[in-house]
Amino acid sequence: MSATPIVGGFHPDPSVCRVGDDYYLVNSSFEYLPGVPIFRSRDLVAWQLIGNVLDREDQLVLPSSAGSSGIFAPTIRHHDGRFFMITTSINTVSDGHLIVSATDPAGPWTTPVQTRGAVGIDPDLFWDEDGTCYLTWASGWGETPIMQVVIDPGTGTLHSEPRGLSRGTGLAHPEGPHIYRRGDWYYLLLAEGGTERGHTVTISRSRTVAGPYEGNPANPILSHRSTADPVQNTGHADLVETADGWAMVYLGVRPVGPSPSFHLNGRETFLAGVEWVDDWPVVDETAFEVQPRDTSLEDDFPSPELDRRWIAPGRHPREFVSAGPDGGVAIQPSPSPEHRSLLAIRVEDQNWDARATVAAGTARLVLRLDDSHWAAVESQGGAVSARVVMGPADQTLASTPGPGSPDVTLAIRATQPAPEPWGRMAAADNLELGYVIGQDFQVLASIDGRYFSTEVAGGFTGRVVGVEPLPGRADPAILRRFEYRAL
């Protein structure tokens, strides 16, 4: 298989659909706004970010920047000339799932309707040949945690009583359901085993959409549990029919470092081929050759419109970002402690370098996993400092006089350490916090990146890197230029 994701770094829970020659892919976004990034491809291998589905305040508002809150797994489908995206905001889960639609997948998408009476996560939409639309989701409880109901996707109205559809194959946490029809069979694809090392993909089939569903004797059809594969936690998949066959997108992680290994950039999206044998899908992880994407970003903010990659925890960036007084952008401080004014991008690489040129004394460059696990380089009071927050511990590791110029370039770099004897890794990655003079990276502090991994912090997200104002100041952070590149 390819150990290279088609969309790397904190792009979990992929869902895909095909319209003509084009494929469209969406991912979970959790507490970050705008929500649900959407990509387009012609070959399933090379993907371009074309927008974010939930990119307006009338579509989604979050109460805080709390980690792993917000938007859980979405599904994208196309029916009768419209795209539909259904997902769950865990902050309002008791109100049902959110459905939006659009004629153009780049937007605009409609204001959400809610599926009141269908409570849970991981919703899926499926239209049968007679036009009936079925909502299938994971309730998370009961003897049959996979539920189904007939629905009007335009209004969110339920047209039948929700009923139990499946209890899965016996593994933990059956979730991520998707329904498909191929020939005379209906198929139910599930994620099972939990989204950690035991994650799997299973499939069952039935002659009717209502079941009962018979499990594949070869289940699970995809899992890397108890293997030495460089990609682990494989699961939460979606199938798509191509012009000459079928394919599968699924999530996985790339753990590194000493036992138990640590995945640093969140759950990523991978690709496999699918062959059908005796009306069962067989996954071929060698079917596609995936090359690393160009993830570089050089932004001096020439336009009032931000690049599509910019996100923020708990807030839409347009709420607090405006044109700077002399170029660049001004990032306004947050009016409440529940939100951060952090303008960030997802970290997509295992070796990378990020640099932010800011007005001295106004800002910090932050690597964030959540509000309790982050590292920063701060320009404050004529000095540049390296700071880390790990749970209740908040410490300044080093400080030095600043360059004395109106602007300062803050920098964070992550690199994989060389193996020690017997292949042992001393650290998950080396995080270097510092600043730049000329082209020289001046390192203030170096720390083990495991402390900013999911295995340490918990949750479902990955790393982001970006700029925010210094705390306790009323004036904005002035960001002149931002650069990110893979090493």
Contact 342/312 with Cβ under 8 angstroms? yes
The DSSP 8-state label assigned to residue 417 in this structure reads P
CA–CA–CA angle 293, 56, 31 (5° rounding): 60
Residues in the chain: 487
Q: Which of 13, 238, 299, 432 is catalytic?
A: 13
Cα 2 from Cα 230, distance rounded (Å): 10
Whole-Å CA distances, 317 to 56, 208, 340: 10, 46, 10
H or E, element range at 454: helix 454-457
Helix (H, G, I), strand (E, B) or coil at 5: coil
Per-residue DSSP letters for 145-171?
Answer: -EEEEEEETTTTEE-S--EEEE--SSS
Burial 414-445 (b: 16+ CB within 10 A, else e): bbbeeeeeeeebebbbbbbbbbbeeeebeebb
**Would residue 338 show up in a list of annotated catalytic residues for this protein?**
no
**Would residue 13 show up in a list of annotated catalytic residues for this protein?**
yes
200 phi and psi angles, rounded to 5 deg = -145, 165
Q: Which of 31, 55, 122, 175 is catalytic?
A: 175
Cα 323 from Cα 432, distance rounded (Å): 30
456 phi and psi angles, rounded to 5 deg = -90, -50
Residues 6+ apart with CB under 8 A from 35: 29, 52, 53, 54, 55, 59, 60, 70, 71, 87
Catalytic residue numbers, as ranges: 13, 175
